[in-house]
Amino acid sequence: MAYSAFRIFRESLTGNRGWKPVWREPEPRPDYDIIIVGGGGHGLSTAYYLARNHGITRVAVLEKGWLGSGNVGRNTTIIRSNYMLPGNQPFYELSLKLWEGLEQDFNFNAMVSQRGVLNLYHSDPQRDAFVRRGNAMKLSGADPVLLDEAGVRKLCPFLDFDNARFPIRGGLWQPRGGTVRHDAVAWGYARGADRRGVDIIQNCEVTGFLIDSGVCKGVETARGPIRAKSVAVAVAGSSSRVMAKAGIRLPIESHVLQAFVSEGLKPVLPGVITFGAGHFYVSQSDKGGLVFGGDIDGYNSYAQRGNLPAVEDVCEGGMAIMPMIGRARLLRMWGGLVDMSMDGSAFIDRTEIDGLFFNGGWCYGGFKATPASGFCFAHLLATGESHPVARQMRLDRFRRGKLIDEKGQGAQPNLH
């Protein structure tokens, strides 16, 4: 049943006895048209768009733990489309457009809040680079605004503009960027997919793939084999390990990215702010906590915890632009596993095994991509062809020399 103001009113009059569980907990059937491995943001949005856009509902989402127990529940919730390269920017702009209509579309309050994203610049060359980036954003229909120092002062008067080392000269402002309630994204997509007939099966770890003569015909799970015409893997953080079960070696390394939340403070930040001379990004949650993060730890890791040098680096970045946060106490911090790809960009592609599809390599930026990732992955699964905006996100781009090297760092996953 759909959520609405009328529904809340009616339930309040009838003792709130009409609310039902948001999704079913079905037993797995022996076979499906499509199996999606991974019940996180990308897997659930793929299932949702398969049902909604393509009418394919004989679909199962297999999750080893509980829904949204991976990176969709442990990120810094920022959405934006301020990329530059043609292989990336149109995709992220599609994602932002989907974010804008998401809550009405899946009838769930995901608290999409377009409070704006501000990237600070600290020198003339950096301004020129941001002008170039802004122009690239405009080509895809995004909304960059180049602010000078006065413009940033009006927006964020509390920043350390006259910092001796990194004075703030201005910023690239994307008003349509913002933040989203991350867990609600997983729940909203799960509910939307479930209502259209998709089976969401939790506590069902995939232990292997049923591969016969180079064709994938299903998966082995902790609850027995399940057959399918196509198997789609979206398990960011564990991509290398899951795909190794199919004998595929990916251009990905696993790294740990930390995130931090301060104690609750009165409203102080208007939107998302990023430091241009180091790596630090911060926003303020509706509860008042400053949510911030920075670089990955920089070495291969499967430990869901980070080390102190990265913490120090993040906090130095924060203090450089906002000395006032030095008095805020840290409430909690955590680390999550991210797929760092060799060129810093993602994959939505078929694999060398027929019927086995792969979505991953989102580095530390997978959350903002959630809607478009599912949209384009569903398009690939349903039609057999890449969606136009995801056409360059191919696994064989290293062989063809068509890297999407947004940062220009080369094949060094720890530097992207």
Partner 1 sequence: MLIPCPFCGHRDQAEFAYGGPARALPELDGQDGTHAWRTALYSGYNPRGPVTELWFHANGCESWIQITRDTVTHRITRSCLANPREREP
Binding site for partner 1 (CB under 8 A): 240-241, 249-254, 298-303, 307-309, 312, 342, 398-399, 411-414
How many angstroms separate the Cα of 46 from the Cα of each of 6, 53, 61, 94, 416?
A: 30, 10, 9, 15, 26
Give whichever of 11 and 312 is closer to partner 1, judged by the CB atom.
312
Give whichever of 81 and 359 is closer to partner 1, judged by the CB atom.
359
Which conformational region is residue 38 in: left (phi greater than 0), alpha (psi within -120 to 50 degrees), or beta? Answer: left
Give whichever of 269 and 314 is closer to partner 1, judged by the CB atom.
314
Give whichever of 251 and 365 is closer to partner 1, judged by the CB atom.
251
Give whichever of 93 and 313 is closer to partner 1, judged by the CB atom.
313
Shortest separation between residue 307's beta carbon and partner 1, angstroms: 5
34 residue type, one letter: I
CA atoms within 13 A on the CB side of 87: 17
Give whichever of 4 and 300 is closer to partner 1, judged by the CB atom.
300
Shortest separation between residue 311's beta carbon and partner 1, angstroms: 11
Give whichever of 90 and 237 is closer to partner 1, judged by the CB atom.
237
Shortest separation between residue 39's beta carbon and partner 1, angstroms: 21
Give whichever of 360 and 374 is closer to partner 1, judged by the CB atom.
360
In the block, residue with structure tokens 């960011």: 236
* Best CA proximity match to 361, nearest among 315, 321, 394: 394
Shortest separation between residue 254's beta carbon and partner 1, angstroms: 6
Shortest separation between residue 335's beta carbon and partner 1, angstroms: 12
Give whichever of 151 and 298 is closer to partner 1, judged by the CB atom.
298
Shortest separation between residue 1's beta carbon and partner 1, angstroms: 43
Shortest separation between residue 340's beta carbon and partner 1, angstroms: 8
Strands 215-221 and 206-212, sheet pairing: antiparallel
Shortest separation between residue 156's beta carbon and partner 1, angstroms: 30
Shortest separation between residue 249's beta carbon and partner 1, angstroms: 5
